[in-house]
Structure 1
């Protein structure tokens, strides 16, 4: 039993060190991206700045875009609990979902120069989550916000929140891609229009 506990402790220590390394590599890459631009920074430069071998860097991150993914997903995980008081001030349902999209649009605008390579990299990864594809967590966030709206009677409850979240996530992605292709579009305005379409549907209004 003591050997098993020791093995688990050692495994946990190795995993913590691995995660710390991933964070350090990603933070080093982000500092370079922010200072010099994404296209100008090479993987070799990142490895040198982080003081690791190219083999070590490529072992954990096969491309620069994978470093962006690690950074953005970590930011989303950290932001979700932090914005709960702000979201709680909006009524559950459409108002709360709209407020989240406003906050997310502001974050996207601050990362706009880096979003297109990130999204392209995510779309190129055809693996299922069970096969190792990393999830952003947006599906869980949308599902939670929709479930809150269902519980409050603001959203229809005859369909699972996870199913509705999937369709919202596809609409959200399509809107983001359209905005990234046209710098003149406002993400906040386009997200609001997207939400209006999702909530109101395609039927003609009187």
Structure 2
């Protein structure tokens, strides 16, 4: 990334970021007004007033535009979420509240989540090769580490292992909610967290 002497993004990088944000915002407005399935990449380029070559250079498919929008929303919301979570006890309470907030966001974005998740799962590139991370892995790691430090989560296993299992359980729950009717995501995520924290043992 191009940065200046103060460590801030340089002019070229700022212009690139502005263009990415413009393209993603244009696409999102079209998705919301016309429907995700009906909007074409050519339509996005036309409304954004860029060439198709420029659009495809930054975003090869519509799902990449969703990724940019969604990841930007998480980055923007995270500081306020951190402030709210800090008022709760570390460990299960913070994780549970974060999952409640995420469930509400997912409900508002449900029409777009299945193509987004499919795109993320089929993108086999590494982050250094251009794969953009959502930041969820870092959020889970932070919240689990806080629980370990407070003695609420087991510390005899490495943080990375606990986070990996939590992420897989979270993904499975999200996919089930997206593909089955009648499920309430907030309730499903609460059950998932209970299972991850308490295990499969029968109540004593």
Q: Output the TM-score relative to the length of structure 2.
A: 0.94
Post-superposition, which runs of at least 4 consecutive aligned residues in structure 1 deviate over 4 A? 5-9
Counterpart selection for 2:152 from 151, 154, 158: 154
Q: Give runs of aligned pairs for residues 1-206 of structure 1, distance below 5 A.
A: 12-206=10-204
Stretches of structure 2 lacking an aligned partner (at least 5 in a row): none
Q: What per-residue deviation string (whole Å, max 9, x for no partner) do you get for residues 57-99 of structure 1? A: 0000000000000000111111111112211222100011000
Aligned to 2:10, the other structure's residue is in SS state helix
Q: How many residues align?
A: 201
Cα drift, residue 8 of structure 1: 10
Q: Give distance in 2, aligned partners of 1:153 and 1:8.
A: 39
Cα drift, residue 121 of structure 1: 0.4
Q: Give distance in 2, aligned partners of 1:203 and 1:123.
A: 31
Moved more, 185-194 or 122-131: 122-131
Moved more, 175-184 or 82-91: 82-91
Stretches of structure 1 lacking an aligned partner (at least 5 in a row): none
Q: Give distance in 2, aligned partners of 1:183 and 1:204.
A: 28
| RMSD between aligned residues | 1.8
